[in-house]
Amino acid sequence: MFAQLKTAVLVLALATPAFAQGQRTPAQAAPANQQGQGDKMDVTDLEKKYWAAKDTDFNVVQNRLFSKANRLALTLNYGMFTNDPFSVGPTYGVGLNYFFSERYGMELTYSKTDSKDNDSTQYIKTNQGSAPDHNKMTGYYGVGFNWVPFYAKMSFLNSSILYFDMSFTPGVGIMQYSQQRADGNVDKTAPAVSLAVTQHFFLTKWLALRLDYKNFWSNQDVVTYKVNNRTSTTKLQNDSLLMGGFTFYF
């Protein structure tokens, strides 16, 4: 009897390791490089690819419904001063663009400004017989370089899609201005630099709504308004215009 019990214990001891080996836990069965990670996936390589500083394998291409490349564009616009403390008056403008590509182009522009005294300046003239020493912008013509870094589309009231772009146009040209004098205004010109920020909202392939914020800087000779003891100084003048209009593509 004792001999039979001893044999049964020995058989059970030998069988237990084999059973345990055949019933390995999921953690034991997983590869060594995934143990302790639970259900997580190793995405290290994907993160390195996605966040690469320079990726030459992938590019995001915006589908352009309205193209400007190799096309002429004619702009007619209208605007007002935004920063002149002494003057008011409309500005009428015309521009001619040629786009070498979707990103770059050239622009010729001309504008005529009908500057008049605002209410404050007119009040000083009427009640004090004088006026601030200042010049009035009367026109500008010049050339600019178009850089168009943004092109996008947006939903309008969930009923239609608007396509638009934004461009920056630095330029050089000639500023036309009028010296304000009690004995008669004098027309002058001065070299100028400009910077325009432009937004186009495309309506059709040949027509777009255009909004411009234009800035001009020029060194102008400013004289005292009254004749007695007249002096002249040179000042850096900044003229800013907000303009709107239409662009026609050919």
Domains and CATH numbers, the chain: 2-50 (no CATH), 71-249 (2.40.160.20)
**Mean pLDDT, contiguous 10-residue spans, the chain (250 residues):** 49 48 48 53 64 53 78 97 96 98 97 96 92 96 97 84 93 97 95 98 95 98 89 95 97
What separation in angstroms does the CA of 66 have from each of 36, 75, 101, 202, 249? 54, 17, 13, 7, 10
Tell me what pLDDT residue 153 has. 86
Q: pLDDT for 62-111, tens place per residue?
A: 567 888 999 999 999 999 999 999 999 999 999 999 999 999 999 999 99
Pairing relationship of beta strands 232-249 and 116-117 according to DSSP bridges: unpaired
Q: Contact at 8 Å (CB) between 213 and 169?
A: no
